[in-house]
Structure formats: structure tokens, C-alpha cells
Chains A and B, each alone.
Chain A
Amino acid sequence: MTTGVDVLLIEDEPSIAEAVRFILSREGWQCEQWPEGSDALQRIRALAPRLVILDVMLPGRSGAEVLADLRADPDLQALPVLLLSARGMANLPQGADRTLAKPFANADLRAMVRELLDAG
């Protein structure tokens, strides 16, 4: 099943989510957002995005827990994940395809998303 969603952004900060969605939509990518770690996997299954952008610090379940669940799921384990980290690049959870440290340059975000979508 495909819903046409390119990117699912799992991010709880409304201003960041709004900016990222605008940046990606300007590139022609269809982007949806989910604001918490709870039920994130169900959301991913329902939308079947080509890429997940995942914040590390989330209410409900942390980004690390969501990532671990996703990699343990046979249907979802190959899905590309771009991790957004607000605590630099140290002690990050394992399993992400790429990681972007906050605050990031919009051009870097576009480049990483393009790279991951093109590879998929």
C-alpha cells in the first residue's frame, strides 16, 4: 500500500515541525508530522513513508525507543531514518541511517533527505 507520503516527521516542537515541513514541501516532497513517540510505529505503518525523520527527545517514547522498535520490526527495519539530535553527536542511539545535529542548516536538511530518498 502506498499513501504517497515521502517523509514522516516525528517531532514535538511545533515551530521546528512547521519549518521542516515547509522546507521539504518546497522541494516537492509530501511530508506528514507526528508529535510524540507514542504510537509512532502505528503511524509509520499507516502512512508507509519512504523516509522517517525522527527527533531524539520526544514525549511518550523517546526517539531511541522508537528507533529500536522500528529496527526490530521485520516490515519496517529497512526504512531509512534520519535522526535529529539536540544534544550534539555524542551518545546517540544506534540504527539511524544519518544524523543531523540541531540547530541545522536548511541546505543540509534538504541534502540529507534527498540523499536518503534517492537511495531508497
Chain B
Amino acid sequence: MPRSLPRHPVARPLIGTRIRERRLSLGRRQTEVARRAEISAAYLNLIEHNRRPVGEELLSRLAQALEIDATELASDREEALVGALREAAARAADQPGAPVELDQIAEFAARFPGWASALAGAARRADALERRLVALSDRMTRDPYLLATLHEVQSAVTALRSTASILAETPEIEPEWRDRFHANLDSDSQRLSRTAQSLVAYLDSFEDEAVPMSPQEEVEAWIAAGQPEPSEAAELASDAARAMAQDLLAAQARDRAALPDAALAAAVDGAGEAADDPALIAARLGRPLDLVLRRLGMLRPGPWAQAGLVVCDGSGATLFRLAAPGFELPRPGEGCALWPLFEALAQPQLPVARLIETANGNRFAAWAVAERLLPMGFDGPALSRAQMLIHPAAGRDARPVLGVGPACRICPRPACTARHEPSILGPV
């Protein structure tokens, strides 16, 4: 029979400590929780260090921000400890070894409070680290910049290792070969050094973030997951991302109302040979081309199943991106100045159609158009928005080819007049 839990020597449990522990167990930053609870991060910091009292209403908001019941947050320390131990036991359930004595958790916490706290703390830290690891892993397997950089490191190291071994293993090597390998060592070591610097700088950019994704990246993960309800989507961790997702849904709903799925699908079905020309589809429907481009990219009816879509505002910032197979999109905020999207942005209302080729030889038909918006009337500034629809090119497409890249940093094209920064993939 478990003994009753002794009261903690401190009359009132340290609620700030529990708030902090809960926040850390979720892997969230103070700024994020404070924003949700509608207080400043500095005030939350004082609360977490038990230097400010927490009233009932604020406790309720903090509990909501921390996704925990307010009574649980305010409960006795021993109860919270027992709860944490139960969570730790649940995590260990599928591990080999003797099962955890669940019926003795309360007794364990009472008899060995120090050990129990240490175990609960370790389990929370493991949980937070696991979340961080999953977030980082997600990012590393998706991020084309990281993949390209790591590939570059791997290639340089391979060349260095093989070349150095040749020089070490072959004392009687011919002078011309020796000179060539020395030159290779020099260029590959410089390339490795440059790539390593880029990689470190990049990794530093999200070193201290508990959730290492920008709101734009969260929204893209949400789009990739099929746009589930924003309030319940695990991909949308920040308020900013949820707000962006809601805005996007509203914009898509407006587009869908202006050009319903059935009408677009019927127009594509009935277009015959013209089904691969967005301008002809727009003409058949009597709808603006920009709307048709967005709707084809979103609905992907019939022959448009492999379409991709990029929408940007007048500053070039991407508002929406949906990759087409084989057309690598860079990190949010980056792009290639040669994309027809930006050509259209520079000449609003004039549609652009190009045959483009990525650095690895994949060809795409691209259509882009920009429009001017007057959300504040004629007295306000005119805003621009451009959209680019891309689709794997038909084999018979004989137009001149425009070579494009993903973004300068990971673009291997050595001579490009649009380049604005050196590539990590080639000589500077």
C-alpha cells in the first residue's frame, strides 16, 4: 500500500518553476509562450523564476499557451512529479528490461524525492531533445541548401582522401601526375574550406531555436501535409505560421469561388489539344490568366498533375510555393532571378511563357504573369503580385531554352549574368 505523500516544506508550490519546466518540455521559447499568453517575455521570465505572482486569469492563459490543464499547472509539486514520472514510465514501456512498477510511483516519489526529480527532469529533457532532433532531421532531409552543401563537402573530402592516398602510396609517381595531384589538393582544400564556412554560418543561423523553422517553412510543411485544419495542424507551431495559413486558405477560397473546381476541370477536359496552354484555357473560361495559373497549380486537373506553382509579391517575397517534380525550390526567400516569375513581375499585365531548364537538365514549360492591385484605392500605393506555373516540358517543345537555377548559393552554373553571390558548388 503506497504511503501518503508528505507535504512539500514550501507551503505554496513554486508555480513559476512548473511553468518553466512545462515550457522546456514542449521545446518552446519564452517569447512564443509569452505572446500566446499576451504578456511580455520579460514578465514571463520573472514568473518562471518565481519573482512574480500568477493570478487565476493569467494562470489560465499560460496553461492554454502551454497546452496543459490550469489545475494541473497549479497542482501540488508532488502530484506534478508523479505525473512526470508516469510520462517517463510510458516512454520506457517499449524498452527491454523489467517493467516499471507503476503501482509504486507515488511511493517512489515520496521516499526518494531527489532521485524522482532527477528522473523526471531527465525524461523531460530527453523529450525536448527528441522534439528538437525530429525538427532538425525534418529540416535536413528537406532543405535543398543543406543537402547540396553536404554533398559538396562529401565530394571534396572524397577527392582529397583519394588524391592524398595516391601521393602517399606512390613514391615513384611521375612529375606531371604529382604536379596535377598537388594542384587538385590545393583547389579541393580551398573548396572544402569555403563550403565548411558556408555550412557553419548556415547552421549558426538556427542554433538556438527550439523549433528551427521559419513561419514560411512551417506553412510549406503544412501545404505538403495537405493543408489540414490550421488550428489542429502539428506543422504550424507558431502563431505567425497559423495566421499565414489562414490567410492562404482565405485567398484560395476566393480563387475557388471565382473559378470553381468543376468549371476548371471541365474546361481542361474539353480543351483537347489546347489543354496544355493556360492562356487558351483562360480564354475558354473568360477568366483572367493570373487566376487560371493559380487554380491550375492548386487543383492540378488531368494533364496538370505534375504542375508546380510559385506566387510572389512586388518585393519578390514568395507568398506560396508548390514544387513540381524535378524542379528544386530553394529555401523560402531565395530564388533565381532568371525565373520567368521575376520577368513577369518587372512588366505587369504582360504574360511570359518560356521553356526553362534546371541545372541538372530537367526542362519545364513556365508561364508567368503579374498583376497590379489597388487595395487602398487609387490614392494608395499599387501593389504587385506575380504567379508562375511550371510543368515538365513536352518532348516536342522546340523553343529556345533558358537555363535557370534554384538560387545562386546552390547553383552550379559558373557563368551567369544574373548571379548575385558566389556558389558553394564551384570555383569563385
Q: Is B184 an interface residue (CB 8 A)?
A: yes
Per the CB 8 Å criterion, the residue count for chain B at the interface is: 24
Chain A nearest Cβ from B128, distance in angstroms: 26
Residue of A nearest to B185 (CB): A15
Tell me the chain A residues, 10-25 only, with Cβ under 8 Å from chain B.
13, 15-16, 18-20, 22-23
Per-residue contact bits, chain B 173-205, to A (CB 8 Å; 1 contact, 0 not): 000010011001001100000000000000000
Is A38 in contact with B162, judged by CB distance below 8 angstroms? no
Cβ of B151 and Cβ of A57 under 8 Å apart? yes
Smallest beta-carbon distance B360→chain A, Å: 5
B347 proximal to A (CB < 8 A): no
A15-B159, A18-B180, A86-B151 as given contacts; A60 in contact with B361, CB under 8 Å: yes
Contacts of B16-30 to chain A: CB distance below 8 A: none
Chain A residue at minimum C-beta to C-beta distance from B180: A18
Interface residues as binary, B150-182 with A (CB distance below 8 Å gives 1, 0 otherwise): 010011011111110110011000000100110
Known A-B contacts A60-B361, A106-B165; A15 and B188 likewise in contact (beta carbons under 8 Å): yes
- Of chain B, the residue at the smallest CB distance from A61 is B361
Interface residues of A in 86-110 (CB under 8 A from B): 86-87, 102-106, 109
Q: Within the assembled complex, what's the spacing in Å between the Cα atoms of A87 and B151?
A: 7
Interface pair B159/A16, CB less than 8 Å apart: yes
Are B166 and A106 within 8 A (Cβ)? yes
Given A15-B184, A15-B187, A60-B360; A22-B177 close (CB under 8 Å): yes
Nearest B residue (CB) for A62:
B360
A104 neighbours in B (Cβ, 8 Å): 158, 161-162
B-side contacts of A18, CB under 8 Å: 163, 180-181, 184
Task: Report if A59 contacts B (CB, 8 A).
Answer: yes
With contact pairs A15-B187, A23-B162, A105-B165 given, residues A86 and B154 touching in the complex (Cβ less than 8 Å): yes
Q: Is the CB of B359 closer than 8 A to any CB of chain A?
A: yes
Neighbour of A59 across the interface among B159, B163, B170, B359, CB < 8 A: B359
Q: Which residue of A lies closest to B151 (CB)?
A: A86
B360 touches A59 (CB 8 A): yes
Closest CB-CB distance, A89 to chain B, in whole Å? 13
Given A15-B163, A57-B151, A103 contacting B158 (CB threshold 8 A): yes
Alpha-carbon distance between A52 and B327 when the two chains are bound, in angstroms: 28
Q: Is the CB of A16 within 8 A of B361?
A: no
Contact B360 A86 (CB under 8 A): no
The smallest beta-carbon distance between A39 and chain B, in angstroms, is 11
Contacts of B166 in A (CB 8 A): 19, 22-23, 106
Q: Are A86 and B169 in contact (CB under 8 A)?
A: no
Most buried by A among B151, B159, B162, B169: B162
Contacts of A103 in B (CB 8 A): 154, 157-158, 160-162
Q: Which residue of the partner chain, among A13, A20, A59, A106, contacts B361 with CB atoms under 8 Å?
A: A59
CA of A23 to CA of B151, assembled, Å:
23
Contact with B along A49-65 (1 / 0, CB 8 A): 00000000101111000
Report the Cα distance A36→B359, complex, angstroms.
12
**Complex Cα gap A57–B163 (Å):** 20
Q: Which B residue's beta carbon lies closest to that of A106?
A: B165
**Complex: chain A residue closest to B177, CB-CB:** A22
Chain B residues whose CB sits within 8 angstroms of the CB of A60 once the complex forms: 360-361
In whole angstroms, how far apart are the Cα atoms of A101 and B412 in the complex? 23
Q: Do B163 and A19 have beta carbons less than 8 Å apart?
A: yes
List 24 A-B residue pairs with CB atoms under 8 Å apart, sorted by A's residue number. A16-B159, A18-B163, A19-B159, A19-B162, A19-B166, A19-B184, A20-B162, A22-B166, A22-B177, A36-B361, A37-B361, A57-B151, A59-B359, A59-B360, A59-B361, A59-B412, A87-B154, A102-B155, A103-B157, A104-B161, A105-B165, A106-B162, A106-B166, A109-B162
Other 19 A-B pairs with CB < 8 A, given A86-B158, A105-B161: A15-B159, A15-B188, A16-B158, A16-B159, A18-B163, A18-B184, A19-B163, A23-B166, A37-B361, A38-B361, A60-B360, A60-B361, A62-B360, A86-B155, A102-B158, A104-B158, A105-B165, A106-B165, A106-B169
Closest 5 A/B residue pairs (Cβ):
A15-B159, A19-B162, A103-B158, A102-B158, A86-B154
